Amino acid sequence: MCEFIRGRNNGTEGGKPVFPVVNDPIKPGFVLEGGSFHCDGDGTVITTEECLLNPNRNPNLSKTEIEDLLKSNLGVTTVIWLPFGLYNDTDTNGHVDNFCCFLGPSHVCIAQSDDPDDPQRSITDEAIEVLTEAVDAKGRRFRITILPTPSKPLVLTEEEAGALKTSKSFVLRTPGERLAGSYVNFYFANSAIILPAFDDPNDQVAADILTDACKDRVVRSVHTRNLLIGGGNIHCQTQQVPVPGTWRGRRNGRKRVLEVVVMSGIKGLREKVEEEVGGRMEGREDVAVRFKHITAPFTKEHTKVIQNAEVILADPGLAVEVIGCARGVKWMQSTWAGVNVMFDCSKRRDYKLTRIAGVFGKQMAEYVLSYVLQRERALKAAEELQSSRTWDPKPFKEGRRRTNGLTMGILGCGDIGRAVAGACKSFDMRTVGFKRSVVGVSVPGFDSLHDEVEGVLEEADFVVNTLPSTKDTRGIMGGDTLKVCKRGPMLINVGRGDVIDEEDVIRALDEGWISEAVLDVFRIEPLPESSPLWTHPKVKITPHVSAVSLPGDVAEVFTENLELYVDGKGLKYEVKWEKGY
């Protein structure tokens, strides 16, 4: 908390301003750090809504009340509110001194990225729009000087992360995390500007711009990466230093309050996740978890909640709509196994993404075996005979096969593939699997492995795809690949729809390479009504339901990962951005 000395310039004495000092500090309860506002010395102050309206500052005060306090205690008459601070400046929740500051009355400088795809671009554009439409306390329009951000985003290295000393109150920093590096965080001396430098080509560009804009000062650059890693920069060092042991964000007594934003259409998830987390983490003395549940369509109020979220639990289909404004997110837990949409529809890669895994295997194994048994026990024929009131045992005897003489080919030997293999083994089926590298490798539940898809297809009576969608798996069964099948297998796809195009499925059926196709996933979902798959006599279609996200399963995986996250440990089922899954 900052306490301001009240007082205004009531005139001059000997040509020097007189500032009466009144021992009347601001009333306790108003949290305001020095870096959260910037004055021009001429009646105008600039700040950000992201910071001062954040619920971790003054939740009991409205925007108008905060503005009134700024005016009465800083001797200003005009408050300029910018929506956000620098991208990913979660240490301060968007301090304005790291993003935009006064170079003089009615003259500001502001940080902007040269990269049109950088999320900083839209943030700065919105701020410039506010400044362009505003006037200062004297009615003057603002002159705006653009300072570049570093030419490429600055990220924390493995070595730097490992060298940081941590404590229970330490804000977790992870390798690859984007740092809030900015040249705006400089210090004004009487005849100089002390400018941050990051060993970046834009160091000199920023220095030249400020030299031209502030001709009465000499610009001196200082390498400050160590300051940046700790949080903040040169200007921050001239401001208030927190009491040791305090934590960024809301606090409840001595606990850190971690707010989790939940966005999901899974019925019952809200109750399950709160119950699971409450039961597992209730006794912790270092953290208290608070949930905020929001649903589509997203409103402006939802955006304010999302932009400061550190942790998000969400359906990817919903999250992709707002991940661009979730500037403070460090980790998102998907409620789905598949996260392709986060790759396809968003360029964000500066946060940890984990998927649901370890819970879908049994469901998918049940799905696969249900179609195996339906075929081998002629259950479809049983329905048809019953509907026509016909007593005919022939369909159940002709072509009858025992499962212990059948081979299940499984593409993918991950947790789902292993679950399918284990279920097949309970029926004494032989199992062969496809895995990219099989040298010196054995996988539980598999009798043999192949590093080529064709090797599996040649042996299989049933072929199940469990592979994810990656650059290596897309189209892996397309073209003439299925021509090598020797036993006319049933193809069951529970992995991803882009391993084979629908045209290739139909061709394989019509050519007799495969006998049937059970399809739960498709390249385009929902499957268009015009697709010929709907009416093909040898195709069975289900709407991506071979496994569904059950609230209890999602809550269990999320809670386990939440404990690991709070403890600064590695997360389970983390997506590797570079691999695509």
The whole-number pLDDT of residue 179 equals 93
Q: Is 411 part of any domain?
A: yes
Which of 205, 237, 269 corresponds to the end of one domain? Answer: 237
**Cβ burial, residue 147 (10 Å; 0-12/13-18/19+):** buried
Q: Is 2 part of any domain?
A: no
In terms of pTM, does the model score above 0.85?
no
Separation CA 130–CA 286 (nearest Å): 40
Indicate the pairing of strand 331-334 with strand 448-450. Answer: unpaired
The whole-number pLDDT of residue 190 equals 78
Question: Catalytic: 485?
Answer: no
Whether residue 332 sits in one domain with residue 389 = no
Nearest Cα residue to 374 out of 485, 479, 518: 518
Whether residue 262 sits in one domain with residue 145 = no
Instruction: Give ∠ CA 42-44-50 in degrees, rounded to 5.
Output: 155
Whether residue 82 sits in one domain with residue 62 = yes
Report the CATH number that the domain containing residue 79 is assigned in CATH. 3.75.10.10
Distance from CA of residue 419 to its chain's centroid? Answer: 29
Whether residue 513 sits in one domain with residue 375 = yes
Whether residue 313 sits in one domain with residue 186 = no
Q: Give the CA dihedral 149, 154, 160, 166, nearest 10 degrees.
A: 70
Q: Are 287 and 247 in contact (CB under 8 A)?
A: no
Separation CA 100–CA 261 (nearest Å): 29
Q: Is 571 part of any domain?
A: no
Tokens coding 96: 């304005």
Whether residue 285 sits in one domain with residue 179 = no
The whole-number pLDDT of residue 140 equals 92
Distance from CA of residue 341 to its chain's centroid? Answer: 12
Axis-axis angle for helices 269-281, 551-566 (nearest 10): 40
Average pLDDT for runs of 10 along the chain of length 581: 32 38 51 90 93 87 92 91 92 92 94 92 93 93 95 91 66 81 91 93 95 91 90 77 41 66 94 93 84 88 82 95 87 94 89 94 97 95 95 92 96 95 97 88 93 97 95 94 97 96 96 98 96 98 96 96 92 91 81
Q: Is 416 part of any domain?
A: yes
Q: Are 393 and 377 in contact (CB under 8 A)?
A: no
Whether residue 516 sits in one domain with residue 457 = yes
The whole-number pLDDT of residue 184 equals 96
How many other CB atoms are found less than 10 A from the CB of residue 391? 6
Q: Is 176 part of any domain?
A: yes
Instruction: For residue 221, give the 3-state DSSP assignment.
Output: strand
Q: Is 456 part of any domain?
A: yes
What is the amino acid identity at position 531?
A: S
Strand order in 44-48's β-sheet?
A: 37-39, 44-48, 78-82
Whether residue 154 sits in one domain with residue 57 = yes
Whether residue 401 sits in one domain with residue 340 = no
The whole-number pLDDT of residue 22 equals 41
To which residue do tokens 């800083």 refer?
74
Domain count, the chain: 3
Whether residue 487 sits in one domain with residue 394 = yes
Report the CATH number that the domain containing residue 256 is assigned in CATH. 3.40.50.720
In the set 236, 325, 424, 485, the catalytic residue is 236
Query: Widest CA span of the chain, in angstroms?
Result: 117
The whole-number pLDDT of residue 301 equals 80
The whole-number pLDDT of residue 284 equals 85
Tokens coding 481: 């690949």
Which of 189, 215, 237 corresponds to the end of one domain? Answer: 237
The whole-number pLDDT of residue 167 equals 57
Q: Is 451 part of any domain?
A: yes
Beta strands in 97-249 (DSSP E): 100-104, 107-112, 143-148, 187-188, 192-197, 218-223
Whether residue 264 sits in one domain with residue 139 = no
Distance from CA of residue 409 to its chain's centroid? Answer: 35
Nearest Cα residue to 36 out of 299, 202, 232: 232
Whether residue 374 sits in one domain with residue 346 = no
Indicate the pairing of strand 107-112 with strand 100-104. Answer: antiparallel
Q: Is 54 part of any domain?
A: yes
Domain that holds residue 321: 251-356+552-566
